[in-house]
Amino acid sequence: MNDQRIVSTAPIDKIAIDILEKVAPVEVSPSSDEATLLTLLDNTVGIVARGTEGSITQRIIEECESLKVIGRPGVGYDTVDVEFATKCGIPVIYAPVGGFAVAEGALALLMAIVKKIALTDSILKSGEWQRRYEFNTGDLTGHTLGIIGLGRIGARLAKLVQNFEMTVLGYDPFLDKNSLEEVTIELVELEELLQQSDFVSVHVPLSEHTRGLIDKKRIEQMKPGAIFINTARGGVVENLDILADGLESGHLGAVGLDVFPTEPPDCTHRLFQNSQFFGAPHLLGVSELAMERIYRSMASDMVAVLQGQLPKYCVNPEVISTIQ
């Protein structure tokens, strides 16, 4: 494969490069836009779809005649035209091995909001010690957490909060009950979860069934003062306006987002000016250990495909028989 290459849409860790270069040199595209990627397709046998800014479109797949595998470093693969890749017999690799970091990130974001960490840090550093008498911080204990989506990440979050004296509600119409071993969750319908939960955390993949799942109606169904957390995919929320409306009306107590409908988001949006909005630039799951596991898994599976072997994690396993 000396005359062939693997192209990444954005920089990737050395661990992935070292593994991938066992079969072909790795080239990082200067941009993730379609026009740039189209100039890098000659002799490209693998594409790493890093980040959410660019997409591996039908046109890219169609024009990359030497393409044999697409890799996604993470659990989400909505940036890849999986349907067309499948039609072309191209395996799409993903790496659902870093979910623990997303679950930890969701809990950290929730706790930072409830315990008012940003505010307490600010008043301390500004020398306003006496303001400590003006407010109390909140609690997880004695409250209800609603988890939408009980796959690897949602189930992990439920497990993380088991030592808190909380009620945990869960909603997932596609539930794999094996993922809930040793976890106490009361399964309810989505409307009941929204109405009863003090905190709502979303952990579903982005699909035709979940896009816009959280819309104006569902925001209105939430318990007054509820805290809404989304560390899944931005498109699960209809738009930022409904979250801003919820905060401005006082119906939502706070909003914490690590993901946005469009990334990077427009930070001039009024949501970003609200003191009860807290966010991160889609990195709460990008921990050192998680990324090491993700890159190792993805790169190893891409190499397996390129060497005619079976990968461990494949979005469209039905095409695997065509590469053996």
The continuous run of DSSP H or E covering 257 comes out as strand 252-257
Q: What is the dihedral of CA 73, 68, 301, 56, to 10 degrees?
A: 10
Tokens of 277: 């909005």
From the list 53, 62, 192, 263, the catalytic residue is 263
- How does strand 69-71 pair with strand 92-93? parallel
Q: Where are the alpha helices (DSSP H) in the chain?
A: 14-20, 34-38, 58-63, 82-87, 99-114, 117-125, 152-160, 190-196, 216-221, 240-249, 288-306
Rounded to a whole number, what is the distance in angstroms from the first to the last CA of the chain? 17
d(CA 86, CA 319): 6
- Phi then psi dihedrals of residue 282, to 5 deg: 50, 55
Any catalytic annotation for residue 263? yes
Task: Return phi, psi of residue 27, to 5°.
Answer: -120, 130
CA separation for the pair 81, 72 (Å, rounded): 12
Q: Name the residue among 68, 80, 147, 113 with its Cα closest to residue 305.
A: 68
Nearest-5° angle of CA 218, CA 229, CA 154? Answer: 95
Cβ–Cβ < 8 Å for 226, 246 = no
Q: Is 233 a catalytic residue?
A: yes
Active site residues: 233, 263, 282
